[in-house]
Amino acid sequence: MVEMSSFNLHLLLVGAVGVGKTDFVENIIRNRFAPDYKLTVGVDILTKDVEFRSGEVATLSIWDIGMQQRFEPIRDTFYKGKVGIIMIFDIMREETYAETREWLTEIRQIAGAHVPFLLIGNTAKISKTNKSAIDRNNVREFVNNEGGIYIEASPNMTQCIEKALIELTRMILESRG
């Protein structure tokens, strides 16, 4: 019998109101898709096991925190002790991307300057007739400069997101030595 190695990692999940965080969580963490929008109030803590190498599993404790203005005074208490960040923005709304950049700076001031992150550009609302509101090359350049991972996905693209979570888990563990 092969013994499994296990790690517990605490991550943040952040994004502007209405970018699809709950859809991603419902589909990836809970294996279901919820088409109705529900506002995250305060914090919702979820777990997901990720096998990042054969026989090695990390339990990701993902803190989905409300990023509304009214929670700003207490947000930094949620940042402490987090070893990774998942950020989601809507590629059809440039301001949601700008907000993720601000939050990365804010979070890293508390959690550490080199906390690994995954940035997900939500493509659920894009179609062949409309274009993204962001410059994708600028996003990729920003993420490369900051040492993160960038993917574009919709909440139902589970395989793509699973791969990105595995890569993020590896980055976190490598950064911890």
Q: What average pLDDT does the segment 80-87 reach?
A: 92
3-class secondary-structure state, position 16: coil
What's the pLDDT at 35?
A: 39
Structural domains in the chain, sorted by start: 5-175 (3.40.50.300)
Decide the pairing of beta strands 43-53 and 56-65: antiparallel
Dist. CA 156–CA 159, nearest whole Å: 9
DSSP 42-58: SEEEEEEEEEEETTEEE
Which residue has better confidence, 16 or 176? Answer: 16
Regarding pTM above 0.75, the answer is yes
Q: Answer yes or no: are the C-beta atoms of 39 and 15 closer than 8 Å.
A: no
Which tens digit of pLDDT belongs to each residue from 112-129? 889 999 999 999 887 767
Q: What is the pLDDT of residues 23-43, one digit of tens each?
A: 887 777 765 433 333 444 457
pLDDT at 70 over 60: no
